[in-house]
Amino acid sequence: MAFDFAYVIKQSFVILFSDYFIFALAVIYTVASVLFALSISSPISSFITSKGTVISNVSFLVIHMILFMLFSVFLQDITFIRVFNKNKNIKYTLKMAVYRFPVFLATDIITGVIVTLGFIAFIIPGIYLLFKFILAPVSSAVEKKSPLDALRRSWQLTRGNWWVLFAVFLILGIIVSILSLLPYISYFFEFIIIIAYPLSLMQLAPNKKLKKKRTNSA
């Protein structure tokens, strides 16, 4: 399956501004990220200056990191489902997000572990696996696949397009970096890299598959 280079970049931004609910989710993600950054700054500084107990500071950081991770994953889940179900109301989106959250979280964790092991190995395998499994969370939320099936689906969809995915990611990273020069605004555009980018890839995937079928039938 070949991905349209220009389409992916354009659609990554279109997704963010095409739906007021998705835009609101991006704002919520930004606020949550800022609050998280501010909340852990004090324990980190206390840890460095040896103020307070080490156990209390570490416990505080770990708890906050886990809560923020769960919240971020849930926002991803909501956004993925919303983009592919815009004809449904918000109540349906939230209901499906809650229903699919355990499977979605499991997919995210398994993907993260695999990619992390790749980075621990020699870094390059981690980078390779990152883009091979980048569509796994979207597939889990939208196509309602199990974690392992979602990983297989992502591997299949990204076959033969690794360099394109990597190049688009770099370009988006540069664009977002330029747009993120103002303090805290970076978290808003970080939403594009984490959520809108894989969504744009997944939106293109079925279209390309459909075109291929039509060509073969012709």
Q: Quick: pLDDT tens for 19-47.
A: 889 899 999 998 988 888 887 776 555 55
Residue 174: give the domain boundaries: 5-217
* 3-state DSSP assignment of residue 19: coil
Residue 202 pLDDT greater than 80, yes or no: no
When divided into structural domains, the chain yields a total of 1
The pTM of the full predicted model, rounded to 2 decimals, is 0.77
Q: Is 17 exposed, middle or buried (0-12, 13-18, 19+ CB in 10 A)?
A: exposed
| Token pair listed for 124 | 């390059």
Q: Which tens digit of pLDDT belongs to each residue from 130-170?
A: 999 988 998 998 888 999 999 999 999 888 888 888 888 88
Taking phi over 0 as left and psi of -120 to 50 as alpha, with beta for the rest, 184 belongs to left
pLDDT tens-place string over residues 168-185: 888 888 877 787 777 777
**Region class of 121: left (phi > 0), else alpha (psi between -120 and 50), else beta:** alpha
| Per-residue pLDDT, 201 | 77
Residues 186-190: what's their mean pLDDT?
82
Residue type, 55: I
How would residue 78 be classed by pLDDT, with cut points 50, 70 and 90? very high
